[in-house]
């Protein structure tokens, strides 16, 4: 957890090659860099699940230190103070080492919200939380769009898939399908 709102920042690394991505560096960049160095990783890209400041606050500093390209969905790029290097588009695969993360566009919390799915995991940003969903009352938010994206795109990933959200504890798709009050009839 980083920054004043304690957003979850994830460092996902390949043990075989040492290549890694950093997802949502919201702040505390020296701490993020310390973890990267400690694990002997090379950051290949910086990924933003959406453009809100609590997830993007460390972008500039981390990009300067690592020289890694910054990526975000076009729909949220206007929220950044910096120019992204590349785009996170629906269906695109981000490859680092032997790992792949597939981009799933899930607007609703913000127009350019994305989730990043890998084998057995999905990083959901502020789309889906353990027992909740992201706010939809912010500019560009839409409640029905968010619910539709979770039902149609995330729930189809499989019940055993581990959910790593932008805030709070992890969960599983199955647990959220069965117990999240926003998806109960």
| pLDDT confidence of residue 3 | 81
Smallest CA-to-CA distance from 82 within 105, 95, 64, 96 is with 64
| pLDDT confidence of residue 131 | 97
| pLDDT confidence of residue 128 | 98
Mean pLDDT in order along the chain per 10 residues (185 residues): 89 97 97 97 98 97 98 97 96 97 98 97 98 95 97 98 98 98 90
What the chain holds in terms of domains, given with CATH numbers, is 10-183 (3.60.15.10)
Interior angle at CA 52, CA 147 and CA 103, nearest 5: 55
Residue 53, phi then psi, degrees to nearest 5 = -55, -30
Q: Which pair of structure tokens corresponds to residue 178?
A: 């069965």
Per-residue pLDDT tens digits for 83-103? 999 999 999 999 999 999 999
CB atoms within 10 A of CB 176: 25
Give the pTM: 0.97
| pLDDT confidence of residue 165 | 98
Residue 84 C-alpha from the chain's centroid: 15
Per DSSP, the residues of 61-94 read HHHHHH-PPEEE-GGGGGG-SS--SEE--TT-EE
CA 144 – CA 136 distance, rounded (Å): 9
CA 46 – CA 67 distance, rounded (Å): 10
């Amino acid at each position: 957890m980083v920054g004043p709102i304690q957003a979850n920042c994830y460092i996902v690394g390949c043990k075989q090659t040492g290549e890694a991505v950093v997802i949502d560096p919201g702040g505390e960049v020296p701490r993020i860099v310390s973890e990267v160095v400690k694990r002997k990783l090379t950051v290949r890209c910086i990924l933003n699940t959406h453009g809100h400041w609590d997830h993007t606050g460390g972008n500039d500093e981390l990009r300067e230190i690592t020289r890694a390209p910054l990526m975000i969905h076009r729909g949220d790029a206007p929220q950044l103070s910096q120019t992204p290097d590349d785009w996170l588009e629906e269906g695109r695969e981000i490859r680092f080492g032997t790992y792949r993360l597939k981009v799933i566009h899930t607007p609703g919390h913000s127009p350019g919200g994305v989730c990043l799915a890998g084998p057995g995991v999905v990083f959901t940003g502020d789309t889906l939380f353990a027992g909740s969903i992201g706010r939809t009352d912010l500019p560009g938010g839409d409640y029905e769009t968010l619910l539709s994206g979770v039902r149609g795109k995330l729930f189809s990933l499989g019940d055993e898939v581990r959910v790593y959200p932008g805030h709070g504890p992890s969960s599983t798709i199955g647990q959220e399908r069965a117990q999240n009050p926003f998806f109960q009839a």
